[in-house]
Structure 1
Amino acid sequence: MQIGRMIRRAARMVVPPALFIGLTAYFGWNVMQGDHGLHSYAAQLHLLDEARAAQQDAMSEQAAWSRRVHGLKESALDTDTLDERSRAMLNLARPDELVVPYGPHDHLY
């Protein structure tokens, strides 16, 4: 009988601290490695930084396209300048225009 009491006494002395150490280890591991732990938090912060950078790139690209589209509106175009540039690029002139050729080193003014 004395051996049984010694085993029960030893179990009472070992089981509660072992249970406490086991629970502490479990929660400690989950704090670091779990789904909502510190490593997951750092990975989510990294993903958030990447998403913000992608959003900034998209917003700057959208602003550039918005400026380009605004430049195509009829109110933004100067018809005289457009006519001048189109004729200069196509090297065309109307029959009633006077064309004065000049050399590459001659100044117009």
Structure 2
Amino acid sequence: MAFLRGVKRRAQALVLPTIFFALCGYFAHHAIHGTRGLIARDTRNAEISAARIVLAEAEAERDAMERKVAGLRAEHLDRDMLEERARALLNVVAKDEIIVPYAPNRRLF
């Protein structure tokens, strides 16, 4: 009987620390692996970095297009730019012009 009381007393003494360590383990696991944990944060930061690179490329492409279009605006029309663009779109050349072919991967436009 005394043996069972000792076992019961030890079991009661271990219940609270066991629950505490289980809760600590639960929160530690979710702090690392949860939807807002450390691993998710690293993944999100990598996605943000990749998106910033794509954004920079898109902005550079937009700026290049804006520079090309700026030469074709009515306020300051660049005749050479207009003629070059029209010839490229219409595939027309004059009789006295020399044609320099480009490789397929090296297009002007």
Report the TM-score when normalising by structure 2: 0.66
Kindly report the root-mean-square deviation, in angstroms, between the aligned alpha carbons of the 2 structures.
2.5
Counterpart in the other structure of 2:21 = 21
User: How many angstroms apart in 1 are the aligned matches of 2:25 and 2:8?
Assistant: 25
User: How many angstroms apart in 1 are the aligned matches of 2:53 and 2:36?
Assistant: 24
Q: Is the alpha carbon distance of 1:22 and 1:57 closer, same or farther for their aligned partners in structure 2, counting shifts above 3 Å? A: same
Q: Do residues 91 (structure 1) and 70 (structure 2) align?
A: no
Deviation at 1:31, TM superposition (A): 1.1
Counterpart in the other structure of 2:48 = 48
SS at match of 2:36: coil
SS at match of 1:16: helix
Please list every run of 5 or more consecutive structure 1 residues that lacks an aligned counterpart in the other structure: 93-109
Counterpart in the other structure of 1:32 = 32
Task: Mark the structure with the bigger radius of gyration.
Answer: 1
Highest relative contact order (Cα 8 Å, sep 6+), 1 or 2? 2
User: How many angstroms apart in 1 are the aligned matches of 2:61 and 2:34?
Assistant: 38
Q: Report sequence identity in percent.
A: 28
Deviation at 1:72, TM superposition (A): 1.2
Counterpart in the other structure of 2:106 = none
Structure 1 segments, 4+ long, off by >6 Å, are: none
User: How many angstroms apart in 2 are the aligned matches of 1:59 and 1:75?
Assistant: 24
SS at match of 1:76: coil
